[in-house]
Amino acid sequence: MSIDEKKLKRLRRRKRTLLVFGIIILVGSTLYIGFFIPLGKYDFSPDVWNSTSSRIYQYDIPLDPESPWPKFRANSLSNGRSQIIPTMNESLQPWTYRTGKGIFSSPVIDKDGTVYIGSADHFFYAINRSGGLKWKVQTGEIIDSSALLDDGGRVYFGSGDGKVYCVNRTNGNIIWIHRAHTEEEAAEQFDLEIHNVDWFEGNIAMLADGSILAGNDNQILYRLNRTTGDPIDYYLGNEMLWSMPAVNSKTNNLFFGTTNFALKTFFSYNIETGKKRWTSGGLGSVAASPLLTSTKEKGAVIVGGYDGILRAYTQKNGKQLWKVGTNDHIYSSPGQLSNGTIIQPSADGSIYALEPTKGKILWKFDTLEPIRSSPAIDGNDVIYVGSGEGKLFAINPDGTLRWVYQLITENRNDLNSSPGLGPDGIYIAGESGEIFFVPYDYPLTTVGLADPNSFVGTGEVLPDNGIYLIYTTPFGGLQPNPPSKIDANQPLTFTLFVRDNGDTILSEIDTKSFSVSVSNGVSVKINVAANRRFVVLTPQETWMNNSGGELKISISGNYRTHMSRIGLKFFGGRKSGVLDTEFIFHIDPRSESANPFQSPELNGGNSTVFELSRISAPNPSMLPSYNQIGFDSLHYLSGVVRTNPDSMILWTVGGKLTDNGTVVDSNLRERYPLKLIYDNGLVTFFNYDGFKINFIGSWDMPFGIYRISATYNTTTGNLNPFGAFMAVAHCDEIEFYGTGLKLMGMSEFKTGYMTVSGGLNVGYWNSGIYQMPSEVGTLSFNVIDGCVSVQLTESGLNATEHVYSILLIDSAGNPLPLYYSHNTQVISSESGMLSEVLLSFDNEETVGGSIYAYFMVDTYPVASQLLDF
């Protein structure tokens, strides 16, 4: 073969290669465009529903036509816009109604101004327009679901007891109840793998035929006959359903999100066929309820996720039209003004207004703390939003402030409920357990202008410029003016907050340059959060000795801005400034006092039992969005087992609130040890060796560090009611979900550690004293390969009426860090009495040598024995 022929052959081969490569690119591009790029023109203009002062409202589903706010997000499109034209009434005053626990659901309001809402105290309330109780209905669990008012005088709501209720609005009589599938039933009928959770947390929606839609944590969206409660159809998700469906009544399609961690987090179904049309998503769960820009086939559906990104999809096929990133996760649902502008609050504390066709930010209104409240919009396009500061904001459609009204001033001040619009004013509820009514434009009235809780202006209630490390209370409140005094065992949390030219800037602490010095040289643990936005300083175990005095803390280092992101994980960036701040706190002196708490072996069998309840975990900000009402419902009972020379050993089990107070909850599997140090009025509970507790029903949270600080009043003999806690969770130990927590910025990329800061209620359980239970019977301890057991004969203990456990303590007096919650098995006899308790060990758990074993009934050490392993 000649040289020219060889060249020609190589040239032909190269052309064929290029041709094949070109075809691959062409086919790939075609497929990419076909699957992901929306073609054609889409219509973002909203449907025209005229605002009205006639008090008859247009709905395309059979909602109460005389109600200005008959469901969460107001209407079938879930655009959060009511047709009501508010009028200011100088004679009306704000009022408050307090329930028994925090409220995280949102109100609906009828024509008479009666507000309907559920509470974590297990009751669903109807409160009349003057703030008096009309009626209430008790359920079996906390209520996190917003209700719906139909055109037949009924109200529908879901509860954490796994039931949907239909109630007569006139008298509060229950008409019907529908129960969700249990874990076993969902697995058998739908082949779903769920995690022992059947709460109805999704807000109630409705179809054009009046069918009720209710999303459950068992991954099922129920379609129920509103007259009988019988199921009509089921629409399946892939994780818990907190997102309320938006309904297009003309195309017969519905849209909702799930709490799945990534990619497949948003669903569309055809209503009549029950078939899934498409799925989409990002790198974070979707708890928000989607907004439909209109009922047009070429309309968009808009929703935000826990990756902090607001996305617009085509209703037709789910292709993404645009996306816009915020600086923290998005929990709240979007709203839409009459001109089409999209309103989206974010947990970064800002409210965004976006042009609907491209997602361009038109304006941004900044507040100090996270916003989880969804906007309510009146017929004049005034926007109402609650905030983590306990404030209700009214914002004009151009982004200027209309007014602010401070509703909550106590520790638990989050307004994570969304406002509802009534005939005469705005209704909202809060973490404090209160329901609030504020008359329209009350802060602008003569009385309102003189009210110290009112603020009227046009700008943000923040400085234009500044670099701040803000003192943060255990319950998450940011206090630019920190308290003058702190407790000697209290952890201190500080949050980075940067303002530049009137805007809040995404910033993070530079850990390499970050340093802390304490005036007295005390040992302090420094934990910078995975998102680099807050830091927790924890004394080991007190800031000062009994003499008290002045504590000076100096903090310095750099901060960074202009970070890149993957999901909600921000990284890189550049040094943008220097932190250099000093805090001075006074610590009161402490008088010598003996340990007042009782231990069974020293106090005639008496054991002090504490109740740790209503946990609030505001930092990182994602935690309340995943489990705030769940944390608020927790009651842990922690009893003294024994006394060591330097501490007490406590055993902790789960409790539940009933009409007669808190009782042990034998259905919960939580069991874990704590230590307690009493230091002249300071009470510190801690576990530095690790344990696991259940988190939102889907996984167990492994804590490496868990510490609660409280104080004891030596005069009254009671614990002061509020405590602070800090914890470090080892998220890499969480199967499957651990990676997702990294992408959401909750845990460190390298270590998987998540720093948590929060507060809780601390007190005694009932009288504070627990004694030996009766009818224990005869028991024996046994060491078996890979486990230890307690066998009982002639026991009068019912196997389901208590929490039974085996606690192991080493020769140094330290509880062994075992997976007690998961690996404890309770065995009953044929008559239902307790016959055996078994504690097995995981492969990575090492148990050896001489170990003290304690047989625990609830929090009480019934018997103990030194065993050789």
- Domain match, 177 and 313 both: yes
Q: Which position has the token pair 């459609």?
A: 397
Same domain, 437 and 579: no
**How many domains is the chain partitioned into structurally?**
3
Query: Are 801 and 862 in the same domain?
Result: yes
Q: Is residue 659 assigned to a domain?
A: no
Residue 89 lies in a domain: no
Q: Are residues 445 and 490 in the same domain?
A: no
Per-residue pLDDT tens for 415-459? 999 999 999 999 999 999 999 999 999 999 999 999 999 999 999
State the burial class of residue 133 (Cβ atoms within 10 Å of its Cβ: 0-12, 13-18, 19+): exposed
258 and 400: one domain?
Answer: yes
117 located within any domain: yes
Do 794 and 851 belong together in one domain? yes
* Predicted pLDDT of residue 631: 86
Q: Are residues 389 and 507 in the same domain?
A: no
Quick one: CA torsion of 436, 437, 441, 446, rounded to 10 degrees?
-100
Give the integer Cα–Cα distance in Å for 67 and 217.
29
Residue ending a domain, among 426, 455, 484, is: 455
Residue 867 inside a domain? The answer is: yes
Measured CA to CA, the distance from residue 520 to residue 510 in angstroms comes to 25
Q: Which of helix, strand or coil describes residue 62?
A: coil
pLDDT at 186: 96
Specify if 43 maps to a domain.
no
Domain boundary among 566, 587, 608: 587
Q: Residue 475 corresponds to which tokens in the numbers above?
A: 């319950």
- SS3 of residue 22 by DSSP: helix
Q: Do 210 and 320 sit in the same domain of this protein?
A: yes
Entry field: residues in the chain: 869
Which domain CATH number covers 567?
A: 2.60.40.1220
In a domain, 850, yes or no: yes
CA distance 713 to 719: 6
Pick out the chain residues at pLDDT < 50.
Answer: 20, 22-34
Residue ranges making up the domain that contains 834: 772-869
The contacts of residue 819 (CB under 8 Å, 6+ apart) are: 691, 692, 842, 845
Residue pair 642/649 in contact (Cβ under 8 Å)? The answer is yes
Residues 506 and 440 in one domain: no
| Residue of 257, 332, 340, 345 lying closest to 294 (CA atoms) | 340
Of the candidates 567, 587, 607, which is a domain's last residue?
A: 587
Q: Find out whether 313 and 322 touch, Cβ atoms under 8 Å.
A: no
Cis link prior to 815 (omega < 30° from 0)? no
d(C-alpha 512, C-alpha 502), whole Å: 29
Quick check: is 193 in a domain?
A: yes
Cα atoms found within 13 Å of the Cα of residue 363, Cβ hemisphere only: 12
Q: Indicate whether 141 and 273 sit together in one domain.
A: yes
Cα separation, 561 vs 410, whole angstroms: 33
DSSP calls for 173-201: -EEEEEEPPPHHHHHHHH-----S-----
CB-CB contact of 840 with 834 (8 Å):
no
**In this predicted structure, what is the pLDDT of residue 744?**
87
Assessment of whether the complete model's pTM goes beyond 0.85: yes
Both 537 and 566 in one domain: the answer is yes
Contact 613, 635 (CB under 8 A): yes
705 lies in a domain? Answer: no
Residues 403 and 488 in one domain: no
Residues facing residue 861 across a β-bridge: 856
pLDDT of residue 340: 97
Q: What is the DSSP letter of 293?
A: S
Provide the pLDDT for residue 33.
Answer: 44
- As to burial, measured by CB atoms within 10 angstroms (0-12 exposed, 13-18 middle, 19+ buried), residue 489 is buried
**Residue 3 has what pLDDT?**
61
Q: For position 314, what pLDDT does the model report?
A: 98
CATH of the domain at 792: 2.60.40
